[in-house]
A and B are shown apart, each in its own frame.
Chain A
Amino acid sequence: MLTKRIVAALDIKEGRVVKGVQFENIQDAGDPVQLAKKYEKDGVDEIVFLDITASKEKRNILKNLVEEVAKELFIPFTVGGGLKTVEQMVEIIKCGADKVFINTAAVENPNLIKESSKIIGSSNVVVAIDAKKDVESEKYYVYTHGGSKKTDLEAVEWARKCQDLGAGELLVTSMNTDGVKKGYDLNLTKQIVDAVEIPVIASGGAGEVKDFIDVFQIGADAALAASIFHYGIYTTKDLKIQLKKVGINVRL
């Protein structure tokens, strides 16, 4: 039986792992290759690298890093952040990433989803959606450029469109809950899980075991966390033992 996945996220800036709170207050959290290896050993199911290095010139740092990790890691890893073209996505796959994700570029040019899925395979194209709830309408809107720019796209509609264009998976981050460790945004995650047929990775807000149980119970296929692993609050193994106890199917 297919298991629920625990995904460890590493925000990468100029070759180092960093972590912010609600997309701000960036702090150093270690060496990416070492951390990725450690998480693999702890039993994590997948690693995601989010490159938050702003400049294009520094893209080579990421490529070298992906190559280094590809040799060391025997679990899947997904890389994204700032990727704009099919060529850049193919480059990252050629460096050894298993899947790539796109965010802002997909919003600006939805056709990129279609084109890239033809070349690297639909299963390997992940669209990351950063969403925030609009206080008045209570609807979730998509944000781009690392959460700094609001768009007119409604998150659920956008999720459906990504699927129709060929995305293999969605990585859904709630900006309302990111880094706060008070639980995933169940409302947003459920709306999207119910709207699409492709797997959904929930992201933003993991703090305790209960948060993972909650998000898996509403149908998320995978749950992503960063802070709780970086700061050693839980290891994946501890977490999975707890999940298994309540009947959630995980790989142990």
Chain B
Amino acid sequence: MQKIVILNGGVGNFSNVQKAVGGIISNEINDIRTADKIILPGVGSFGIVSNNIIPLKDYILEHIDKNKPFLGICLGMQLLFESSEEDEGTGLSYLPGKVVKFKNMKVPHIGWNSVEFSKDSPIFRGIENGSFFYFVHSYYITTEDQYIISYTEYESRGKTYKFTSSVQKENVFGVQFHPEKSGEKGIKLLENFKNL
């Protein structure tokens, strides 16, 4: 049986991620080293998640180097990048790019928004393009086009802003929305990751 390790990236409780994919919630180095798949959900601020996760950076990158699947959720996705405008502290710097704040928009961007797939990805299998997922964030990532697998349009105060809502590089995935909070579609996405 595969071993899925859900890292605790902040102050949250991820029992529903666990309920959807199975596995264990652990930040133990031994668990990380023996994991088949890792999920990093994040609740809190970039600085707090960075403090919790950076000590584990080498082990996480070792996992990724072996081409084993990794999924970052919300702040967990942001942590794949180099830095954030939100706080001091660094990310895993696995992907090139920065985390920046929405400007002149209503922030936080909270609620159910549609996700437009821009590339095929195994985590979207069986999910209709344009499906609604739940978002709650004030920062978003900017990266190179080649890693972007979906966009989301946020309309606020009469303006529409299109931001990157998920990324992929080989077996590493990141989603800005919360699949664990997005009802059936979200569970499907988590199951897709589980079945990789």
Contact = CB atoms under 8 A, between A and B. Distances in A.
Contacts of B15: 67, 70-71, 96
B143 interface: no
Q: From A96, A124, A198, name the one whose CB has the most chain B CB atoms within 10 angstroms.
A: A124
Interface in B170-195: 178, 180-184, 186-187
B26 to A, nearest CB: 15
A75 B181 contact: yes
Interface on chain B toward A: helix, strand, loop, or mixed SS? Answer: mixed
B20 A74 contact: yes
A197 B112 contact: no
Contacts of B180: 74
Interface string B1-40: 0000000001111011001100000000000000000000
A93 B182 CA distance: 18
Contacts, number: 113
Nearest to B139: A123
Interface string A187-202: 0000000000111000
Interface string A121-137: 11110000000000000
A123 B155 contact: no
Contact of B138 (A40, A93, A123): A123
Contact of A199 (B10, B110, B155, B181): B110
A95 B12 CA distance: 8
A1 interface: yes
Given A1-B153, A2-B155, A251-B132, A222 B111 contact: yes
B108 A198 contact: yes
A123 to B, nearest CB: 4
Sorting the interface of chain B by its residue count into under 10, 10 to 19, 20 to 34 or 35 or more gives 35 or more
Contact of B111 (A45, A73, A121): A45
The 4 closest A-B pairs by CB, nearest first: A123-B108, A96-B13, A251-B112, A251-B132
Nearest to A199: B110
Given A99-B136, A198-B106, A2 B112 contact: yes
Contacts of B153: 1
Contacts of B107: 197-198
B95 interface: no
A98 interface: yes
A98 B181 contact: yes
Given A2-B155, A251-B112, A251-B132, A70 B13 contact: yes
Nearest to A66: B13
Contact of B43 (A4, A72, A124, A199): A124
Nearest to B105: A197
